[in-house]
């Protein structure tokens, strides 16, 4: 891994450094192929034809090279494809390298590129990744009946833990623990998420060599799943089906269960995603991931350390690199290269592509990893819904707020604060809408929605009713006064 | 395959149509995963997170999906990765779908995006894909001592054959045969390449289902190789090492040889590439591919039909789709879905990424394909060079034209005609330079090169010398006349 953070070098140089490190730490030093993970080098750095570029940059011109992309889980996907290539017997040794360069662009440009993974209709409303993550968080809060302050404590707990862990990771972007005060003083990005709930913008790369030869650490399980791109197409908001599908396959393949995992690196691009994912992976019951974080269960000395590396939150999040950096961190902890008071034998990584739309779970273990005695019965998977159509209507429809957020850091062209809500219309379909007002928003609130130029605008019903009522009153009064005038004038006649 | 050409639908709809066709033609209809090939949907259509989008669009949300990219061979790379996934036993049935949408952009915008696969320094000189292909063609002409008209006849022969073949392919973009007159009347893009030497800009998608179950047609060989991205880093210009590496592996795996191939689909993004590649694949000796094309050997009724589908030239070239469309065409011909007078049993496809930098060869055959009796000894592979450094110098260096072109269709910001040459400096390194003049260019011509603001400019030596000589003459005459004046005036004094 390179030192994550701001890196002035070109993307190819950053990827090459990680690859050279992996090759240097290897006895053989030769590889049959290169599998490269990167999310969007085309737009971040203007790099096309990346696979050939990397073969050249490593002095490995001639060697087969391909690039794999699954949005922000690209690093894990490259490892998975390389695993399949080695497992098939087609290659014996594959170099996997993944990275991204992002910090040279403005925050608004980076946010725009990252937001391209979102459904186009939702982007048109002004939705960003933090905004959608915030809406999922608000739904989680409501579903599990958490007070605003209880939820904030949980998110703060995850942020503090991961920054504390990052402070011990020399390759992390942030190497400073933060305080509760720092957390609550950080600005709101999209309610209820603050700046310290969001992973930073980062440059960096990671690399591993996968070989069919016997090795002290083995990749024993890997699984992938997808989920609806659009929030409007989802039935389930408080868990990621893509992770549940991926985890089942990975556990099954590794012949283990959540109880067999000693520690995990989880995609905490947003602190609530660490909580939700820890539930999706079967570590904690639904709605209990936050309690576990607050109770210290997921701290480095807890029963199940999560993100001992600092996670995406503190290690940094060069999008294409993160899924592979997690595996490098697990490898180092398993082999003792990262010092630890405890001995870890089996680690799990979970990487999220987009808004939980393309997730990958990997299990990596030492030969002496303990077997799990008891079989595991995973909770039944929710039915993944087929896409519904939401034709933009011009008439006003009535509905109820399914979840919402108030976006304080908006994309270019949208004024802050921007109220966004997912509305469930009377016919059961969901639609993303901008609020005409950002007050009085609450899940379950009844609203009117108007379709205008392909966009939806919503108004909280009670407000409209108030206006209508005020109008009616005014009207009645005027009519009454007209009448009385008439009467009076009539009387005068 | 969709009908290639101009397609008004969004990229996801085009990919979905191809995928739905493959699923509909399948008894089982269920797949374990989706592997997607696309070169640059980020910049062509603003589509990120394509793998999840396609799973959604197909109503297969939940199913693992990943996108593979190797520039213009992405479709073949997706098939290769899917092959490895199925061969490993990880998946039983994989849907492979590849496509691109390009025609909605202006030609200059498309040319710019396509040119991003080129080395940045070469792009800075004004190099485009056709310009570099033209320089390779000129070098081929010189190496094999072909007259300009003989080369033009060969290229015209390939163009006429492929358009004739495309006229019989209902899914091809161009379904009209062209005449010799059409060919020679078409405008020069970059000498010696004309418009009819270049594949068009196209929308389209192709799909196949790969299964581990027994099937009438099997993928028996696949190989990949890379080559230097920069022309300046190459030792060999008249063949693509990446193809040679890929072909060796594919033949070896399929236990066959060039003699065992009944017909081939070759990446003819430029007509000379069909000729060069037919040599790299071992079908014809080096320098003889053009003769074979002229002799009718590669015509549909010849000994080795090449691009009976029309090739990229006439079928069209939606960049990410082409590598997979070739396989669909081979499949259809092997199964008799594409009517043919002859029975074909083993077909080969060759796909090129970038300027021959990431090439893939695939062999697909029927169970009754004949075995090849005689072993094949391929020509030794040239040593693939490591990258050399070309620091931009401010002083003038001397060198010799290695190859050149005059670009008539230039990228935005460059005036046409633009002379570009690859110059071999005295120290043996190569550098790409713009000509100060577009006349008198010839391979082997001596030049002066000046480095200015990170760019190189060259002047043909003889011209400079002429100017210098003219100057010297003028100077001598003036000096002489001054002297005579002095003498005279002195005499007058």
Per-residue model confidence as pLDDT tens for chain B (493 residues) = 999 999 999 999 999 999 999 999 877 778 999 999 999 999 999 999 999 999 999 999 999 999 999 999 999 999 999 999 999 999 999 999 999 999 999 988 998 899 999 999 899 999 999 999 999 999 999 999 999 999 999 999 999 999 999 999 999 999 999 999 999 999 999 999 999 999 999 999 999 999 999 889 999 999 999 999 999 999 899 999 999 999 999 999 999 999 999 999 999 999 999 999 999 999 999 999 999 999 999 999 999 999 999 999 999 999 999 999 999 999 999 999 998 888 999 999 999 999 999 999 999 999 888 887 777 777 777 766 555 555 555 578 899 999 999 999 998 889 999 999 999 998 899 999 999 888 889 999 999 999 887 789 999 987 667 677 677 777 777 776 666 665 555 444 3
A226 chain-B contacts, CB cut-off 8 A: 51-52, 55-56, 60-65
Length of chain A: 493
Nearest CA among A341, A313, A315 for reference residue A328: A315
Residue B225 contacts residue B241 (beta carbons within 8 Å): yes
- The token pair that represents B199 in the structure block: 């594949």
Determine the Cα–Cα distance for residues B421 and B401; give it in Å rounded to an integer.
6
Pairing, β B217-226 against β B358-366:
antiparallel
- The token pair that represents B158 in the structure block: 């390939």
Residue B14 contacts residue A81 (beta carbons within 8 Å): no
- The token pair that represents A359 in the structure block: 């997730």
In this predicted structure, what is the pLDDT of residue B486?
58
From the list B49, B83, B358, the residue facing A51 with the nearest CB is B358
Helix B271-280 × helix B148-166 angle, to 10°: 90
Determine the Cα–Cα distance for residues B66 and A69; give it in Å rounded to an integer.
6
In this predicted structure, what is the pLDDT of residue B441?
93
From the list B39, B84, B245, the residue facing A62 with the nearest CB is B245
Residues contacting residue B372 through CB under 8 Å, at least 6 positions apart: B255, B256, B257, B259, B260
From the list A84, A118, A228, the residue facing B61 with the nearest CB is A228
Alpha carbon A458 to its chain centroid, in Å, reads: 27
For residue range A214-260, list pLDDT tens digits in order.
Answer: 889 999 999 999 999 999 999 899 999 999 999 999 999 999 999 99
Determine the Cα–Cα distance for residues B272 and B287; give it in Å rounded to an integer.
11
CB pair distance less than 8 Å for A67 and B64:
no
Q: Quick check: ipTM above 0.90?
A: yes
CB pair distance less than 8 Å for B61 and A226:
yes
The alpha-carbon gap from A298 to the nearest alpha carbon of chain B, in Å, equals 28
**Main-chain phi, psi angles of B56, to 5 degrees:** -60, -50
CB-based burial, A237-267: b 16+ in 10 Å, e otherwise: bbbbbbbbbbbbbbbebbebbbebbbbbbbb
From the list B52, B67, B228, the residue facing A56 with the nearest CB is B228
Determine the Cα–Cα distance for residues A146 and A143; give it in Å rounded to an integer.
8
CB pair distance less than 8 Å for B226 and A55:
yes
Residues contacting residue A473 through CB under 8 Å, at least 6 positions apart: none
Determine the Cα–Cα distance for residues A44 and A66; give it in Å rounded to an integer.
19
Helix A271-280 × helix A241-254 angle, to 10°: 50
- The token pair that represents B460 in the structure block: 């043909």
Interface residue of B35, B229, B233, B248 to substitute, partner A, most A CBs within 10 Å: B229
pTM assigned to the model: 0.93
CB pair distance less than 8 Å for B71 and A62:
no
Determine the Cα–Cα distance for residues A316 and A3; give it in Å rounded to an integer.
10
In this predicted structure, what is the pLDDT of residue B490?
46
From the list B49, B117, B386, the residue facing A49 with the nearest CB is B117
Pairing, β A263-266 against β A346-351:
parallel
Residues contacting residue B491 through CB under 8 Å, at least 6 positions apart: none
- The token pair that represents B196 in the structure block: 């009819």
Residue A126 contacts residue A434 (beta carbons within 8 Å): yes
CB pair distance less than 8 Å for A51 and B69:
yes
Residues contacting residue B243 through CB under 8 Å, at least 6 positions apart: B225, B277, B280, B281, B350, B352, B356, B359, B361
- The token pair that represents B402 in the structure block: 């290695």
Residue A85 contacts residue A189 (beta carbons within 8 Å): no
CB pair distance less than 8 Å for A81 and B80:
no
For residue range A398-451, list pLDDT tens digits in order.
Answer: 999 999 999 999 988 899 999 999 999 988 999 999 998 888 899 999 999 998
Residue A96 contacts residue A80 (beta carbons within 8 Å): no
In this predicted structure, what is the pLDDT of residue A492?
41
B239 chain-A contacts, CB cut-off 8 A: none
CB pair distance less than 8 Å for A387 and B59:
yes
H helix or E strand, kind and range, residue B264: strand B263-266
CB-based burial, A146-158: b 16+ in 10 Å, e otherwise: beeeebbbbbbbb
Chain A with chain B: Cβ pairs closer than 8 A: 212
Strands, DSSP E only, in B212-326? 217-226, 263-266
Alpha carbon B76 to its chain centroid, in Å, reads: 14
């Amino acid at each position: 891994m390179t030192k994550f953070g701001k890196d002035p070098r070109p993307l190819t140089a950053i990827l090459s450094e990680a690859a050279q490190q992996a090759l240097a730490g290897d006895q053989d030093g030769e590889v049959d192929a290169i599998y490269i993970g990167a999310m969007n080098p085309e737009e971040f750095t203007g790099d096309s034809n990346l696979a050939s570029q990397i073969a050249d940059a490593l002095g490995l011109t001639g060697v087969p090279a391909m690039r794999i992309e699954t949005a922000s889980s690209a690093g894990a996907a490259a490892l998975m494809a390389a695993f399949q290539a080695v497992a098939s017997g087609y290659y014996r040794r594959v170099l996997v390298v993944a990275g991204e360069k992002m910090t040279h662009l403005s925050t608004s440009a980076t946010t725009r590129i990252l937001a391209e993974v979102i459904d186009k209709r939702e982007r048109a409303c002004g939705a960003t990744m933090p905004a959608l993550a915030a809406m999922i968080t608000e739904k989680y809060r409501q579903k599990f009946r958490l007070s605003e302050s209880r939820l904030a404590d949980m998110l703060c707990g995850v942020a503090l833990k991961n920054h504390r862990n990052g402070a011990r990771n020399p390759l992390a972007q942030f190497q400073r623990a933060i305080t509760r005060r720092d957390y609550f003083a950080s600005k709101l990005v999209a309610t209820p998420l603050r700046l310290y709930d969001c992973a930073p913008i980062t440059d960096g790369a990671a690399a591993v060599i996968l070989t069919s030869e016997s090795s002290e650490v083995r990749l024993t399980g890997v699984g992938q799943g997808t989920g609806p791109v659009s929030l409007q197409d989802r039935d389930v908001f408080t868990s990621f089906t893509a992770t549940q599908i991926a985890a089942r396959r990975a556990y099954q393949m590794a012949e283990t269960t959540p109880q067999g995992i000693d520690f995990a690196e989880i995609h905490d691009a947003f602190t609530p995603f660490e909580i939700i994912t820890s539930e999706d992976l079967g570590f904690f019951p639904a709605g209990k991931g936050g309690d576990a974080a607050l109770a210290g269960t997921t701290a480095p000395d807890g029963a199940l350390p999560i993100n001992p590396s600092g996670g995406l939150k503190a290690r940094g999040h060069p999008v294409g690199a993160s899924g592979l950096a997690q595996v490098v961190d697990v490898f180092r902890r398993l082999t003792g290269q990262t010092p630890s008071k405890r001995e870890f034998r089996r680690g799990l990584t979970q990487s999220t592509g987009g808004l939980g739309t393309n997730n990958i779970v990997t299990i990596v273990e030492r030969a002496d990893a303990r077997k799990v005695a008891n079989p595991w019965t995973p909770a039944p998977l929710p039915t993944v819904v087929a896409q519904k159509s939401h034709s933009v209507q011009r008439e006003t429809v009535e509905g109820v707020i399914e979840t919402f957020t108030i976006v304080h850091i908006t994309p270019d062209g949208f004024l802050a604060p921007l109220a966004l809500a997912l509305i469930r219309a009377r016919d059961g379909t969901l639609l993303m809408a901008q609020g005409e007002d950002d007050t009085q928003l609450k899940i379950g609130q009844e609203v009117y929605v108007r379709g205008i130029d392909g966009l939806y605008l919503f108004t909280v019903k009670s407000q409209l009713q108030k206006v209508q009522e005020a109008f009616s009153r005014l009207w009645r009064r005027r009519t009454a006064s007209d009448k009385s005038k008439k009467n009076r004038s009539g009387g005068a006649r």
